[in-house]
A and B are shown apart, each in its own frame.
Chain A
Amino acid sequence: MSAVLVKTTINGDTVEYACQPDEPLLDVLRNRLGLTGAKEGCGTGDCGACSVIVDGRLVCSCLVLGAEMDGKTLETIEGMADGDKLHPLQQQFIDHAALQCGICTPGFLIAAKALLAKNPDPSEEEIRFGLAGNLCRCTGYDKIVRAVQAAAKEMRGA
């Protein structure tokens, strides 16, 4: 198989890479571009640890191909903070102790960002179903839900 050349935008930067036609986006991000914030927990789209946003849509980067990203706009965890200023979700996760081991955290933050973009004032139930594609084995989700509630409130300026 010969490599495919891809030109895309990642976290606001233009990025060019060559990848195999059957190579998952997650492998491109991690192994070719050094963006290891997205994690592989399963490789089958069940855990959400590899979540990224492609053209405004939340996807598991293990389930899409790097070759599909030509001309697209990607957001990963590495681009979530604005310089040294954390995104409200990031700050609330720290302040609410919403992470323990932290391996699922990038995926949760990306999924929560996508959720709040669609629904700035979600109920607890909407948060729980909105984040049901992400697995966390440490926290029991209690503090994650509270952190998202606090960030949503902060982002609404309430």
Chain B
Amino acid sequence: MPLDTSLVRKPFKVIGTRVRRPDGIDKVTGRAKYGADAFAPGQLVGLVLRSPHAHAKIRKIDTSKAEKLPGVKAIITSADLPDLTGGDRSMRDILENCMARSKALYDGHAVAAVAAVDMHTAKQALKLIKVDYQVLPHVTDVDEALKPNAPLLHDDIFTEGIEPKPTKPSNFIKIAEYGHGDVEAGFKEADVIIEKSYKTEQTHQGYIEPHACLANVSPDGTGELWVTTQGPFVYRNQCAALLGMDINKLRVTSSEIGGGFGGKTHVWGEPVALALSRKANRPVKLVMTRDEVFRATGPTSSSSIDIKIGVRKDGTITAAFAELRYQNGAFPFTWAEFGAMTCWACYDFKNVKSVSKDVVLNRPKCAAYRAPSAPIAAFAVESTMDLVAAAIGMDPVDLRIKNAAKEGTKSSYGPVYGPIGIGPTLEAAKNHPHMKAKLGKNQGRGMACGFWFNFGGQTCVDVNVTPDGSVTVAVGTVDVGGSRASLALAVAEELGVPYEQVRVIVADTSSLGHNDMTDGSRGTFSSSMAAVDATRKAIQTLRERAAKIWEIPVDEVEWMDGTARAVGEKHGNKAPLSVKDISAQAANTGGPIAGHSEIVADGAGVSFATHICDAEVDPETGRTSIKRYTVIQDAGKAMHPSYVEGQYQGGAAQGIGWALNEEYIYGKDGRLQNAGFLDYRIPVCSDLPMIDTQILEIPTPNHPSGVRGVGETSIVPPLGAIANAISNAAGVRLNHIPMSPPRVLKAIKAAKKK
């Protein structure tokens, strides 16, 4: 029987309480084990040699000198990772990103790797590997990469979405289109049309823990991988495929994860570590340096966007159009298409269209970064919305309220919305004390909205009732920010026992069925759905066992407040049986008591937020400081309010960094010039104010407790909100992210000249 996911509208007893997280003590005492914290007897140190060139043909790799160095146990190149992908383009790209084949496609692309007895020897060995490069022309700007004479990365990309299929390969991966109505007709109905172009620079997720793994392949063909990852099962499947192993022979254990934000959804060094271990017949630990993390993992797209909005004087938006050009790094994906799907999602427009152009160029392969692609698109849209409001003399919040999507709206990307939170977050913003607070000198207030889809996906959970009545829960989504606490709350609620009676662990890949990646804000949403399902099955078994103990039919046993009760007057003298009472007799009533769930967690509720920001711009230096910040977001139901607030605050802080400071800077030579936390500056404690939060709860009907994913939407509005605040503070409209002091100062000086 499929899980009844319909929302149970009953008062919650433990869901919504602020319990202490089960991994808290381990994490404040240094006990918690992350990717780099595992050791195996006889382990070697793995290091990767990376291309110093943005684009180069690899003519020859000579490893002979390095091989002779005492202490070197294995050296691999692409020859040790043969192409077993059988025509699967996306798997071949993953393989080629892990280890360059005929060409290096970006500064930092792996070209060889070594395993040695210690770090010193491994470093020496890298220096002894000679790579003969033929340097090729490169391109690192998205608009430049689209030009017909741009340096070509791949000779087998023929733009998808153009009919007839182009005859020449290019860097232009795909064009896609979303929307409805007739935008041309809509623009003719407008009293005012605003057109504006925007650029955003490339940013990195900036997790504090670098990628790290410990690989151990045995001569019998089995292997183990300890790794920091958002998706141990996906890592297992991909590594096994790339190495030619049966999936069941590779056991992947996810360590505690020191931040991911989407950046730990792709394999990078893991297949390399496994290949080194296989060749050396020893465990190999591969830990990236921060320089490698910046040069070879992560980043999100840089972009170039055109927006056009037509509006009538009463604030009715008659048409909206966007063209979004995003770079994907050196390998093809559809990041611009995500931008095209999300850009207008907050609004209910009659005529709306978005066109995406996805592009490859000589930068590292882009990865997901928290609501990937949406913040970039929202920056352009929300900046233009403020220009539209100003042009017709309307309050920016009122303009958005007037045009906000609601239940029943056909979204710009297709689906019709169920109950949604964009209107309520806007109303809450309008009425928030922050909106009415007085501003100081050189200060301005801005607001903006944001949307994210939220995902569900394949999910598997085991609930086991132990002989003493305590409960263990094994999940396959990793805990990126407190989900073990949330999932324990979900099981405790369903079973009717105290939170402390339930212990949640993240299982390894040999102990549980497949789980998709922990992405798309799905961790708590999907695993709690499966956990509730598994708990209900365990409850069914508990009722059966109680019936057996009492020797009555099972349909005369009901489950209430964590106990089995015999229903009906004839059973009036039977004392309720607790989980402990029933599990104590399990051996005599049918054996272990457990519940298992395997689901596709469909029906994730979409998520909306509205942010308010006060910025102060120093007219002398162009430096912006954030004086006050408020996040208002719909959580559906906040399972653990403190960790929901934490997601809101963390997303806002990342957005503030993106808006004001963070930026990949490439030199003319195509090399990344700021691959470190000193020059790629993420916000520190003294850069930020307290970040106020307001949790709205508009339950999604497709989840037993109404939960929506909350992890990502909070990074979507900040770029636009801050751009609008700067505009109101300094009287200049910045159309280029990040709005760093030099850019702001330049805009202020240009405005003065006018």
Contact = CB atoms under 8 A, between A and B. Distances in A.
Contact of B34 (A39, A93, A109): A39
A35 B30 contact: yes
B686 A86 contact: no
Contacts of B686: 125, 128-129, 131-132
A44 B676 contact: yes
B24 interface: yes
B646 A100 contact: yes
B290 A41 contact: yes
B746 interface: no
A47 interface: yes
Given A41-B208, A77-B29, A135-B677, A140 B682 contact: no
Contact of B654 (A43, A106, A137): A137
Contacts of A125: 686
Interface string A9-43: 00000000000100000010010001111111111
Interface in B648-673: 649-650, 652-654
B256 A102 contact: yes
A80 B29 contact: yes
Given A97-B642, A142-B690, A44 B677 contact: yes
A137 B29 contact: no
Interface stretch (B257-265, B331-339, B506-514, B697-705): B257-265
B21 interface: yes
B150 interface: no
A140 to B, nearest CB: 3
A143 B646 contact: yes
Contacts of B258: 39, 101-104
A49 interface: yes
B633 to A, nearest CB: 14
Contacts of A38: 30
A67 interface: no
Interface string A83-124: 000100011011111011111111001000000000000001
A42 B653 contact: no
B509 to A, nearest CB: 21
B319 to A, nearest CB: 37
A66 to B, nearest CB: 13
Secondary structure call for the A interface: loop
Nearest to A107: B208
A78 B29 contact: yes
A141 B210 contact: no
Interface in B275-314: 287, 289-290
Contact of B482 (A42, A86, A97): A97
A81 interface: yes
Contact of B653 (A46, A128, A129, A141): A141
A136 interface: yes
B29 A81 contact: yes
B247 interface: no
A155 interface: no
Contacts of A61: none
A42 B290 CA distance: 5
Contacts of A140: 646, 649-650, 652-653, 683, 688, 691
A144 interface: yes
A145 interface: yes
A145 B690 contact: yes
A134 B122 CA distance: 30
Interface in B623-657: 642-643, 645-646, 649-650, 652-654
B33 interface: yes
A53 B654 CA distance: 29
Given A42-B677, A101-B259, A145-B685, A93 B28 contact: yes
A39 B25 contact: no
Nearest to B18: A97
Contacts of B119: 27
B727 to A, nearest CB: 23
A20 to B, nearest CB: 7
B678 interface: yes
A140 B34 CA distance: 21
Contacts of B290: 41-44, 46-47
B649 A142 contact: yes
A99 B30 CA distance: 13
B652 A94 contact: no
B209 interface: yes
Nearest to A124: B690
B299 to A, nearest CB: 14
B416 interface: no
B474 to A, nearest CB: 21
B110 interface: no
Contacts of A129: 685-686
Interface string B14-50: 0000101101110111111110110100000000000
A128 B319 CA distance: 46
B31 to A, nearest CB: 7
A49 B258 CA distance: 11
B29 A138 contact: no
B289 A43 contact: yes
Contacts of A137: 205-208, 259, 261, 650, 654, 682
25 contacts: A36-B30, A39-B34, A39-B36, A39-B208, A41-B290, A44-B678, A78-B30, A94-B21, A97-B645, A101-B256, A101-B259, A102-B28, A102-B32, A105-B28, A124-B690, A131-B686, A132-B684, A135-B682, A137-B207, A138-B650, A140-B650, A140-B652, A140-B688, A141-B684, A142-B690
Given A128-B686, A141-B653, A142-B690, 4 more contacts: A44-B290, A102-B27, A103-B208, A141-B684
Going nearest first, the 8 A-B pairs with the smallest beta carbon separation are: A37-B30, A103-B258, A140-B653, A102-B27, A140-B649, A97-B642, A46-B677, A100-B481
Interface of A: 20, 27, 30, 34-44, 46-47, 49, 76-78, 80-81, 86, 90-91, 93-97, 99-106, 109, 124-125, 127-129, 131-145
